[in-house]
Structure 1
């Protein structure tokens, strides 16, 4: 059960960022979100959205990605970084979706994480945003800020995921990640958190907190 302090933090996040569950990645289908999320690793959503705007016009189906030429796809997604592995995994995943799942994106965590290049983070993005299955996505922002807020002392993403499941009410599992990404980019940045502008300043327990 969420503590009074946790409820206060979540209420303030809701007040400032709303309760819109949609991720900032642009997509029109489950497989488009899957591809976009795979490309977003160590890359900004803004950059991914610029790439997918043309990418999804060129590759219109899962089959198109499965048939894609590796070198050509690498060129198409070059600007998102780590394009060699990302292109290879996208093609491999598309083939698995066709062979095992009739071209559909599966909903179960174990099925999603069996896809090439898909870990718990990507799987939970799909589960939460496509299937409305309450899940917690632990990215760099969630990891850093959850520690700063005192929600966890863990550093391993999977352990953080399970700790947050105990701390946060289910109706905020998906929402928390979406809100914290914005919060982490605008205020609680990694190197120099803008504590003087932070609406959580009064209840933050971070050792990084600026007192002046």
Structure 2
């Protein structure tokens, strides 16, 4: 009888674990991928300050391919990821790619505007950077990771996401494919 109860408990625990794992894999693709719904990209919400750019809106960015890069200046993964973001900006900027770094702090000291400005200077970041201390844009995108990249097509639709380091060649292919697509006249 005791063995039977333990077996039932083990089966129930396994079923719960599988359900949680399935939910997690649906909500958060392992490393990212295409977003088949192609929903309109969220607006930049509750940005405290903009650097290297005047404030940007998704309406102003229509007709461009946009890479939104969530990062923070003391995240080692973000720092290893940054040279790739810089390369994409340099390689594809003239073709219509706009890079927007959304700096969302992980730690309290990363909320400092002065420290962020110093990091932008030290890291030689030239693309637009939005300071997202209130997590407004982070939440609007439903983001959960540093670094995380979201690609937006010329029509303002969210079409691809990737989180973490790696798969840089795949992200570059997605950028190239989006740059090859014409913008539609849809609103």
With the shorter chain as reference, the TM-score category is under 0.3
Bigger helix share? 1
TM-score (norm. length: structure 2) = 0.26
In our comparison, the structure showing a higher alpha carbon Rg is: 2
Select the structure with the greater relative contact order (CA < 8 A; seq sep ≥ 6).
2
TM-score (norm. length: structure 1) = 0.24
Bigger strand share? 2
